[in-house]
Structure 1
Amino acid sequence: MLLLYNCKLCMHTVNTIQATLIHIHICTSFLDMGHDHFHNGHVHHHADHEHVAQIDRCEAVEFDAIAPDANGVPIFFKSDFMWRGFHGPSELINGSYKELMEQHAELGKINAALSMYAEDADKHVFFLLKDKVFSYHDQTLDEGSPRAISEVFPGIPDHVDAAVECPKGECVRDSVIFFKGCEVFHYEIQTKKVKTSHWSHMPNCTSALRWQNYYYCFHGNQFTKFHPVTGSVTGTYPKDARDYFMKCPNFGRLSNHTERERCSHVPLDAVTSDGLERAMAFRGDYFLREDEEKRDGWHASLVFEAFKEVQSDAEAVFSHAHLLYIVKDNKVFAYKSGEQYQLVEGYPKTLQEELGMEGPLDATFVCGDYSILHVIKGQQMFDIELSVTPRAVVHEARLPFPKVDGAMCGPNGIRVFVGAEFFEYKSPKLLAYSRIRPQPHKIPLEMFGCDH
């Protein structure tokens, strides 16, 4: 299979054995056209029977296509299944895009997908199957779809391998980049002009994704970041997609988990400072902790090794009076901060007992030595006075975010974490009453110092 991912197959200098293997594989592919065989996930489609079981994308899945939906959430497609975002179970595609599956037998799998603004100024998701294009708005098939690729994207061949949108500023003009083998087609949306390039240095992309203004070519279970105009690749690639684009329990192909956790695109679960001026970020089974003097950067550790009572998947965290509090499953765990974290006697306590409210919570933070705990739940922020008992909400405000992943307060103000970005505010008051979001910052790049 690796032979298919290498663009060196486009060259005519392969030896006799390689050519024979390629010929056998291609012939087998034509014989199997319209039949999916995915043995690890137990998905098989044959003319005489059908058996469908869940696919685990942590089992080295090669995606058929990847595209953000209208809300910017990336959707990963494989066979009959799709995954929304970076974690969670698979779901059947026909639950959202039923027309695709209705033509599955005739057209085969999804070849490519992309998301871009159409003539009605709304964002549409386009799916390319064989020689057809299906266009959806809010999961509703557009009138007149499907249409021929030659009609929607004139000059683009059938059976493309991948596609990704490229807006003006990142490409010279608003464009779509199509991949087929080593050939790359830059299609200008307004002029309908097509520029063809040969990127022999790149692997064959089976899917492509624009995420946080960067471009990724997925091949097998790996990905390579590339420049959308030149195709140039900088940095060490390929990388395993399971290390950066999905949340796989106890998974790590890297000998050092720190790089994966720093540079993952999976949203953080919770962020705080532990009371010793050490910033901490939690995600799944791991947490990142910044060196106290910020000389050695961030280091990843397993949550269950430091906080065995919590195990993993922290819901929210905050620090107060030299204690680190972790919220999970309507319980509050309090730890003494130090070289080793020790659970305070009497904990865990219920959220109702500790804070006078029910979960689940999205984020919590305390600023400095103040005794006000700010709790974010949905689009509301509740202020709780920690110096009195029983504790209760003393103020409530509506935030400009439908949902956040985490929040923390530091010397330079408040950071609110949403997806792969964070937003900075000078004070809780500005966060509570601002209606315009400030400039977003990229978490991997600007907080953790990653190159993507």
Structure 2
Amino acid sequence: MKLLAHTLCLALALAWAQSQDHASAVLDRCQGLEMDAVAVNDEGIPYFFKGDHVFKGFHGKAELSNESFAELDDHHHLGHVDAAFRMHFEDSPTDHDHMFFFLDTMVFSYYQHKLEGGYPKTIAEVFPGIPDHLDAAVECPKPECDEDSVIFFKGDEIYHYNVRTKAVYEKEFKSMPNCTSAFRFMEHYYCFHGHMFSKFDPKTGDVHGKYPKEARDYFMRCSKFSDDSDHMERERCSRVHLDAIASDNAGNMYAFRGHHFLRKEEGNDTLTGDTIENSFKELHSEVDAVFTYQDHLYMFKDDQVFLYKIGEPHTHLDGYPKNVKDELGIEGPIDAAFVCEDHHIAHLIKGQQIYDVELKASPRVAGNQRPISLFKKVDAALCGATGVKVIVGNHFYHFSSTMLFVAGRALPEQHRVSLELFGCDH
């Protein structure tokens, strides 16, 4: 009995030590990881898989994959996901918005993070004609492909799988490197190879433009790490959402993301860029929200607000930073903020609530609290002569007034931030 108890204690100690080693293994996506698979969830958030971990979105720490998709580990003792994609075909109602994961010879289908009944199944059963041990997969709806299809990659072999007829067509993509993962984002197609990526035509595999490019410049929030990084191009075309945006009385726009910001001049669309550290050294980096009022930039970071006089250079005012609660009558942090032209009301967004602050009042108090029904979270917002632009992820939505934004029950047309605000061509 003593021997059995001793053996059991050793086994428990070993298991605990292994779990601690596993938990302490920190993956850093900014170190140039080669992702095993990439897929976009039903809210449009990309999931980057590496080993038994997943990175959700464009920044943030790795999480264990089995915390979101438990059965992957239950059935497979997860080493890594070979390939993944979201079936986004409205003509296929039984599979629409399902996420498929490929591991060795098996495929798992999830809907709203729940494993579908009967899964996992063999790849041959669900996708006949598609080989095992895949490298990558990506959905391709028509007309981007001739028919609603899934493109599978294995080495230099490319398979177009017709979702409706289950026919398989082998393709040859001569100008593309072998993909270690692939995904569709904002109607464009990306092949990742190592920590580089190329944008490709899903029908032909043609790669146009200057590729490959560094994935950490566009799909991750990493500070500049290479002399080859063009931060102007990077910030114009990055897929990482903006942290804050504002325009001054002259109509110049300021957009903030991570360690950098862009300034777009009114009238000529000239873009300039710099680091936050260089132009707003007291802030260092990563602001939460910004608005302008009477030629001053109010810049929020955590529970503090910094005040700068707009100019060349911007001048940090004495006495700041101040506590957001003391300055504006609301607890920080703030998600987004804006002031409309010729008005003296600051609109502060915190979660799914919006508050008004009369800037001429003393003391200032956040009042007129209202719920925002259209968005779970707002990343940034901007108000100008034509109304309010609300930025969520990589898109923005235009409302003619603050009232229509708050009271709205239907989303207006979706616009791309990189294309329509900054003139990026991809």
| TM-score, length of structure 1 as denominator length | 0.85
Aligned-residue offset at 1:121? 5.5
Aligned-residue offset at 1:129? 1.2
Q: Distance in 2 between matches of 1:169 and 1:241?
A: 27
Matches within 5 A, 1:3-82: 51-52=21-22, 53-82=25-54
DSSP 3-state at the match of 1:281:
strand
Aligned-residue offset at 1:123? 1.9
- Is 1:92 aligned with 2:64? yes
What is the aligned counterpart of 1:402 among 366, 376, 379?
376
CA contact (8 A) 1:254 1:260 kept: no
Number of the residue aligned with 2:176: 202
Matches within 5 A, 1:96-107: 96-104=68-76
CA contact (8 A) 2:217 2:229 kept: no
Deviation readout 1:371-423 (Å, 9 max, x if unpaired): 01111111222121111111123423322111110001123221110000011
Moved over 4 A (4+): none
Q: Distance in 1 between matches of 2:75 and 2:94?
A: 26
Matches within 5 A, 1:232-381: 232-252=206-226, 254-295=228-269, 297-381=270-354
What is the aligned counterpart of 2:55 among 80, 83, 90?
83
DSSP 3-state at the match of 1:432:
helix
Letter in 2 for 1:81: H
Tell me: CA distance 1:218–1:253, structure 2 relative to 1, closer, same or farther (3 Å). Answer: farther
How many residue pairs were aligned?
402
Tell me: CA distance 1:202–1:255, structure 2 relative to 1, closer, same or farther (3 Å). Answer: closer
Number of the residue aligned with 2:138: 164
Tell me: CA distance 1:261–1:76, structure 2 relative to 1, closer, same or farther (3 Å). Answer: same
Tell me: CA distance 1:332–1:432, structure 2 relative to 1, closer, same or farther (3 Å). Answer: same
Number of the residue aligned with 2:105: 131
- Is 1:216 aligned with 2:187? no
Number of the residue aligned with 2:358: 385
Deviation readout 1:4-59 (Å, 9 max, x if unpaired): xxxxxxxxxxxxxxxxxxxxxxxxxxxxxxxxxxxxxxxxxxxxx89531111111
Number of the residue aligned with 2:4: none
Aligned-residue offset at 1:252? 4.5
Structure 1 unmatched runs, 5+:
1-48
Tell me: CA distance 1:230–1:122, structure 2 relative to 1, closer, same or farther (3 Å). Answer: closer
Q: Distance in 1 between matches of 2:74 and 2:213?
A: 35
CA contact (8 A) 1:313 1:328 kept: yes
CA contact (8 A) 1:269 1:315 kept: yes
Tell me: CA distance 1:122–1:184, structure 2 relative to 1, closer, same or farther (3 Å). Answer: closer
Deviation readout 1:37-94 (Å, 9 max, x if unpaired): xxxxxxxxxxxx8953111111111110001122221100011111000000111112
Instruction: Calculate the aligned-residue CA RMSD, in Å.
Output: 1.8
DSSP 3-state at the match of 2:30:
coil
Number of the residue aligned with 2:167: 193
Letter in 1 for 2:86: S
Tell me: CA distance 1:102–1:317, structure 2 relative to 1, closer, same or farther (3 Å). Answer: same
CA contact (8 A) 1:165 1:175 kept: yes
Letter in 1 for 2:391: F
Q: Distance in 2 between matches of 1:441 and 1:111?
A: 33
| TM-score, length of structure 2 as denominator length | 0.90
Q: Distance in 2 between matches of 1:157 and 1:250?
A: 39
Aligned-residue offset at 1:247? 0.5
Tell me: CA distance 1:443–1:356, structure 2 relative to 1, closer, same or farther (3 Å). Answer: same
DSSP 3-state at the match of 1:312:
coil
Letter in 2 for 1:84: K
Q: Distance in 1 between matches of 2:399 and 2:70?
A: 43
Q: Distance in 1 between matches of 2:64 and 2:235?
A: 29
Structure 2 unmatched runs, 5+:
1-17
Letter in 1 for 2:342: D
Q: Distance in 1 between matches of 2:405 and 2:369?
A: 12
Q: Distance in 1 between matches of 2:42 and 2:230?
A: 35
What is the aligned counterpart of 1:110 among 51, 63, 81?
81
